[in-house]
Structures are given as C-alpha cells and as structure tokens.
Structure 1
C-alpha cells in the first residue's frame, strides 16, 4: 500500500490503482494517520485533525465509526489497528507514505550536494516529484497549517538545494532555472542566497548585463526596505561581473555591424515583412557579449497535437519576417507560438500584451520583456536622458538577430501593428510572430489561422490532461461521453483543459 498526502489524500495498491476513499472526513482521517507514519495517534489528536474547531458531541464514538468506514475503504481491518494504550495506528512503514519518503530523499540529496552535485540533483528532483499539491490538503484548518508548515519549509529548502545542484553540475540549461529562482525570490525578496543563485544563473546563461541589472535591483531592495547593503557573496559576484576573468571576444575586423544611424529609415518598395531570406539585408550577428536566449517559459505540461501547424510555422519563420496566428480565444495560439519560438534558431522573446489597456504602453512592454528597462540604469547613472521606448528598441535591435512573439495583439491592435512595422523596417535581424484574433494589417503580413483541434487530437488532449488531474482517468472508459465533451467545447484546447481539470 502507498499513501499520498502531498496533495489530495490518496491510497493506492501495489499496482498503483487508487482505492475509492469518498468524503472529506475519511480523507482527513487517512491524512492524519499517515502523517504519523505508523506511530500511535491518540484519539484527541485525531479528533482535532479531522473535525478542527467543530468536533461532534460524542467525538470518540464518531471517530470509531469513521475508523470502521476507512478500514472498509482500504480493504480490511489490518490496515488500521487499535492500540492498547488508546488511539489508532496506520499499518505502514515511513517509506510507504510520500511525505516521509520525500523527507528522506530531501535529506539524502542535501548530504550529496557537496560531494556529487549531479547525483544530488537527481535525488532532489525525485523528492520534489512526489508533490502533487499543497501538503495535507484534506486536513481542516487550523490543523493543516500547523502540520503542513514543516513539510512546506522542507520543500522550499529541497528546491533551493536542487537548483544549487543543477548550477554546480551544469546538467541543466541555466536559463531554464530562472523561472523557479524568480518565483522563490518573489516569495522571499530579502533572501540573499536566492539572489546570488539568480546572478549565477544569469551569468552562466551568457547574460552578464541582466545579472548586473538584477544586482542593482537587489541593492535597491535591501537599501530601501532594510537599510542594508548586499553581503559578501553578492558583493563578490558583482565584482566578478564587473571584471570577468575571460575577456569578451571582439568582432573580427570588417565584421562590425552598422550603427543605428545607418539603419534604413523607411520601408523599401517591397515590404520588410515579405522580403524572402535571400533578398533581406544580411542579419547582423548577435552582440559579442553573449546574446541571451530569450525569455520563453518552460512548460510543465505536454504539447498535444498541432504537429502539422508547427511544421508549417517553422517553415514560415525561416523565410518570412512577420507571421500572425489568428483564431478565437482559447484556440491555442499562444502555446503554438511558444513552441515554434523555442525551436527557432534565434533568441525568442515573448511579450504579453493582454494586460495592457493603453496602446502607448506597447513599446514599453517590449522593452520590459527584453530586460532593457533595467539596463537603462547605466544611462541614468551617466545622467543621459533616456530615449523614448521605440527609439530604444530600434537601437537595441538594429544589430541583433531575434524573434519577437507579440502575444494577444487584439487588445492594442493599432499600436502593435505600428511598432511591428517600425521594427521590421529598421531592424533587419528581427522577425515577429504575432498572435491575435484579427490581422495586424502590416504590409507583407502572412496569416496562419489556428483552427479547433480535430476530434482525435481533442480526445488525446482530454485524456492527457484528465490523467494528470486524476490518475487512472481514460477516455476509453466512456468514449461516447469523452467525444461529446470535445464536441460541445468546439475542439478549443483551453476549454478542454479546463474541463479536464
């Protein structure tokens, strides 16, 4: 038997099949027993954990009846024993319970970290994979908060240790660690070891300018909130970023990119968006200081279907400079664009426009996505007036090759179209992949409608997301109902995912 309490409470047999444990009280009782990992649980403790601040009048009798129901659900009397000293015990070893297996693996990974980071990373990843949601999710308050505080803290420590192991071993792409680090920093903004991990990951990803900007943000945060300065570890990293050991490679003679002033100021007779690759100006090389690989987010779920669309989109992006994915909300435009951008040879940067309600904010949103707002610190320190956002973008992009993903353009369609045309005209190494419910209307724009999923693919998506939400779910168990769900949802991926969840 396996008992899972890192998330919704479950019990599974040796094949992994779940036992049907219905009712919140039964799940709370099983969680309370599993929490004690085979140790005796007193009647008073179990009553507190199951009923919280609202126990029944005859609590011991009510608990005894609940124990009997749980034994039947688990398949026999031997699963829960009554102790002679009073109370009950779940017949299970600590490793049969995910919480205690996690604690063992997390401690083991912490010990392995110093001597063997690669092994530690695997051990800690295995420990963290046991989490399916909040710890002890079925316990009522305040019992859940009291019992879950320790496991949640150990989870945070294990995640930090796993990130450290990945950084030391080099087995994971450094840029892929940044979203996890940034989420931890958001929860603990004054945690200097986390900030140090962020700087190291940015440096390892070839983004020293972003690392310097992150240090400056950290310095300001500590100064404004706590009145302190960064500690020795952060100060050492800052000095290393300012004076790297290895000199930055210089461009070969004659290969320097043209200056921003030399960039074309107007659209040629054939629009920049529709020039084939052979006729476009030669795309400048990425900056010698190590161009970042973009800000595309790693996805935690599989990408189901869309293989033909993805192949066609890759072909389009190889020869065209502006491609717009059109379709209704929820049709999967953003996910398709992200996958296409991730496979593109040039750095991909996604700019989310859905939250904007002011068209004038579009250039600034692109600046923020590229990390250029922080880089303007240098300009301010030199008392140089910052240029307007569009000019800053042109100056930054004129000498670079990159792919911009302008997501949800329909909210600010006019401003998005104007900026796209400006960048395509003046930055020969820029390509744009837009998602919108309507075309941008820029000359040379290539439209790719994103249609609803066909029936077989929609069923695959429902099966994949349903199994993630409830282990053991299969569309084959009721194919008629599954097909009807997909039909009623018009094959829209977002609607199918919501239904599956």
Structure 2
C-alpha cells in the first residue's frame, strides 16, 4: 500500500485504488504514523495529535488503530505506542524529501496541495514546506516562471532569493522595467520590516538591469557618452568654431 500526505490524505491499495479513510481523527492518526514509518510512535503523541486537549477515555486509540488495520495496514503494538510497518518509499513525504536535494523537479511532482497535519506535527510540516520552497528556487527559471514566482514573492515577501529569481525571469520575459520595480518594492519592504538594505547579490542584479535596460524603455543617463565618440567630436568641433567666430566680434564691441 501507499500513503500520500502531501495534500489531501490518500491511502492507496496494491493496484492503486484509493481506500477510504473516513473521519478527521482516523486521518490524523494515519498521518502521524506515516510520518515515522517503521518507528514506534508513542501513544501519548498519538493521543495528543488526534484529540488535542480533550484526551479520550477507555480504548479509543486502540479502536482507531483497529480501523486502520481493517483498511489493510500493518500496525504493530509496542509497550508504549504503535508502529506502522511500511517502507519509507511507500510514503510520498519521504520520497519527496529524498528527491528534493537531487531532483527538485521530480520532487515537486509529489506535492498535491495544502498539508493537513495535526498540530503536534507542525515542525514536520514546516520542514517539508522549506524543502518545497528550496526545490522551487532550484527548478523554476525562465520567462514562463513569472506567474509562479510572483505568487511566491507575495507569500514570502522578505525572501531575497525569490525576488532575484523573479527579477531574472522578468528580464528573460523582456520586461526589465518591471524587474526594477520589483527591486524597489523589495528594498522598501526590507527597510520597513527589517531596517536593512538589500543583499549584495540583489544589488548587483539591480546594477546589471540598469546597465542592460534598452534606451526606449527607460531613459538613459544623460551624463553617459559611452559609444558616442563621433557625437562628442562633432560637439567639440562646433564649440571650437564658435569660439573663433565670437572672439573677434566681442573685441569690436569693446
């Protein structure tokens, strides 16, 4: 069997069919066991995760475990808890974590939606979210990534790596002016929230965009004459001729 927790919980049978897991408490119990495959999870943690501040009386935990067994899962009882007998590769969260470092694109294909983890598994959820964000940063590039990156920058407004990725994607899409706006927005957020300036990497990218911007998009610096040596020579020649003509005329007027 396989268990998918990176999105709405799914228990899949040997031929891929979805096995119903009815009830929020039963789903919470399965998530907690699936996050630690092959290891004993204490009854205290399971009760806390399933019932929170209202622990049950009697054998309620044992009854839920029995329901999971009837669904086809092998769950062994230990002296202080329960162990789900399953290989890590049969659980999407573990495959995702393994692939995140070496194959971020493949890893992201396992992520199906919002995580529905019990409160006691908040740290694990945060770890998976960080792995997902890192995988996105290493796999999403190019002009076509602009919409996805704009959404991520909105969610992670102080993440300078995402800002840099969005600026590069906008440049690749032929919109350097918008990329400069993104930098300015990030600069203001960093100053307001953290009292800090953009990183050296982000400032260097900003300079690149200023140097590469087309003259028809944003006005060029008027003090720059790079690549305009012929114009400079003409101006100097005309100024010289003007001095020759105007000099004697001023002398006559005196």
Q: Same fold (TM over 0.5)?
A: yes
For the residues of structure 2 that align with 1:229 and 1:64, how far apart are their CA atoms?
A: 56
Answering whether residue 115 of structure 2 is matched by residue 131 of structure 1, we say no
- 1:391-410 counterparts in 2 under 5 A? none
- 1:411-426 counterparts in 2 under 5 A? none
Tell me by how many angstroms 1:38 deviates.
Answer: 1.6
Asked whether the equivalents of residues 32 and 46 of structure 1 are also in contact (C-alpha less than 8 Å), the reply is yes
For the residues of structure 1 that align with 2:158 and 2:52, how far apart are their CA atoms?
A: 35
Structure whose alpha-carbon radius of gyration is higher: 2
1:221-265: CA deviations, max 9, x gaps? 323333332221112112211223xx95x9xxxxxxxxxxxxxxx
Q: Could you state the TM-score of these two structures normalised by the residue count of structure 1?
A: 0.41
1:8-56: CA deviations, max 9, x gaps? 2221123210112222222111111101122111111111121122111
1:262-307: CA deviations, max 9, x gaps? xxxxxxxxxxxxxxxxxxxxxxxxxx76xxxxxxxxxxxxxxxxxx
Q: Determine helix, strand or coil for the equivalent of 2:26.
A: helix
Answering whether residue 119 of structure 2 is matched by residue 152 of structure 1, we say no
Asked whether the equivalents of residues 81 and 90 of structure 1 are also in contact (C-alpha less than 8 Å), the reply is yes
What residue is the counterpart of 1:119 in the other structure? none
Q: Determine helix, strand or coil for the equivalent of 1:134.
A: coil
Tell me by how many angstroms 1:146 deviates.
Answer: 4.1
- 1:105-184 counterparts in 2 under 5 A? 105-108=99-102, 123-135=103-115, 137=116, 139-140=117-118, 142-163=119-140, 167=141, 174-184=142-152
1:334-359: CA deviations, max 9, x gaps? xxxxxxxxxxxxxxxxxxxxxxxxxx
Asked whether the equivalents of residues 37 and 100 of structure 1 are also in contact (C-alpha less than 8 Å), the reply is no
- 1:317-356 counterparts in 2 under 5 A? none
What residue is the counterpart of 2:174 in the other structure? 206
For the residues of structure 1 that align with 2:139 and 2:31, how far apart are their CA atoms?
A: 27
- The structure 1 residue matched to 2:61, chosen from 54, 58, 63, is 63
Tell me by how many angstroms 1:94 deviates.
Answer: 0.8
Tell me by how many angstroms 1:102 deviates.
Answer: 0.6
Tell me by how many angstroms 1:73 deviates.
Answer: 1.6
Tell me by how many angstroms 1:144 deviates.
Answer: 4.5
Asked whether the equivalents of residues 10 and 27 of structure 1 are also in contact (C-alpha less than 8 Å), the reply is no
What residue is the counterpart of 2:71 in the other structure? 73
Cα 1:218–1:54 shift into 2, 3 Å: same
Answering whether residue 192 of structure 2 is matched by residue 224 of structure 1, we say yes
For the residues of structure 2 that align with 1:154 and 1:181, how far apart are their CA atoms?
A: 16
Q: Determine helix, strand or coil for the equivalent of 1:41.
A: strand
For the residues of structure 1 that align with 2:159 and 2:75, how far apart are their CA atoms?
A: 44
For the residues of structure 2 that align with 1:225 and 1:44, how far apart are their CA atoms?
A: 40
Answering whether residue 204 of structure 2 is matched by residue 236 of structure 1, we say yes
Answering whether residue 36 of structure 2 is matched by residue 36 of structure 1, we say yes
- 1:156-305 counterparts in 2 under 5 A? 156-163=133-140, 167=141, 174-244=142-212
What residue is the counterpart of 1:82 in the other structure? 77
For the residues of structure 2 that align with 1:134 and 1:34, how far apart are their CA atoms?
A: 17
For the residues of structure 1 that align with 2:124 and 2:197, how far apart are their CA atoms?
A: 36
Q: Determine helix, strand or coil for the equivalent of 2:3.
A: strand
For the residues of structure 2 that align with 1:200 and 1:155, how far apart are their CA atoms?
A: 20
Asked whether the equivalents of residues 45 and 120 of structure 2 are also in contact (C-alpha less than 8 Å), the reply is no
What residue is the counterpart of 1:281 in the other structure? none
1:159-181: CA deviations, max 9, x gaps? 22222xxx3xxxxxx23211221
Structure 2's unaligned 5+ residue stretches are 220-254
Structure 1's unaligned 5+ residue stretches are 109-122, 168-173, 251-287, 290-374, 379-501
Asked whether the equivalents of residues 145 and 169 of structure 2 are also in contact (C-alpha less than 8 Å), the reply is yes
How many pairs does the alignment contain?
220
Root-mean-square deviation (CA), in Å?
2.4
For the residues of structure 1 that align with 2:191 and 2:129, how far apart are their CA atoms?
A: 29
For the residues of structure 1 that align with 2:193 and 2:47, how far apart are their CA atoms?
A: 43
